[in-house]
Structure 1
């Protein structure tokens, strides 16, 4: 596969920190349920478009992630216009690195064999009337 583009609908979601549970002297680490649900959703969106294809093992990959956040309801018409022209960008949570981490972990073993194949990445934040995360992956030649 040379490249693929897919969209994850809904508000951008970032990878949450692992949780810890104590059982006597034993501590169990686990991923929060919301994170695992979003990772499954990302994988399903990829699989729907990929139709069984995946990138070759040890093939260098370039990933572009654009997270579109919802426009706040209290936004004035003037500010809304600037937002839609991408002159005002979101400075809200989730952080870009957490959005990217969730995408990488969700696609590890699904789109590629291991995320160490990622050699280049770009993650961006914008506002939109249609909150979503667009993901574009291509093999570097």
Structure 2
């Protein structure tokens, strides 16, 4: 029997939030690390969107391919001509935050929902693009019949 392919794609509405650096606080002489509240809230939003996309399916087991595309809002100072090129994907964002930080937030939000652990990711594609509608789009693909 030929292996089946599972494809899950979903969108997280709103301005994409990159994974923030872990923060440290000291209490009673003991250092404690924590994830910033903005990152935690965005990862929760990703988790909800991923769970909705998976429906009643369990997290997959085995190698997966994940594509994360962060659609960022257009800069206000961008001319109409450049805006049209950006919407066609010919001008791409080269600003901070870095693309890998969008991927970190996305993968942490999908962990234990789409896949059992992000160590299963065999291929990762991360993109930053401009759009009139800021959002994050995540696609996961797995081949095999162990879904």
TM-score, normalising length: structure 2: 0.89
- Number of the residue aligned with 2:41: 37
Number of corresponding residues = 140
Moved over 2 A (4+): 54-57
Distance apart, 1:113 and its partner CA: 1.1
Unaligned runs of 5+ in 2: none
Matches of residues 19-58 of structure 1 in structure 2 within 5 Å?
Answer: 19-57=23-61
Q: C-alpha distance in 1, partners of 2:93/2:41? A: 24
TM-score, normalising length: structure 1: 0.93
Does the CA-based 8 Å contact 1:55-1:139 persist in structure 2?
no
2:18 is the alignment partner of 1:14: yes
Distance apart, 1:79 and its partner CA: 1.2
- Calculate the aligned-residue CA RMSD, in Å: 1.4
Unaligned runs of 5+ in 1: none
Q: C-alpha distance in 1, partners of 2:56/2:37? A: 26
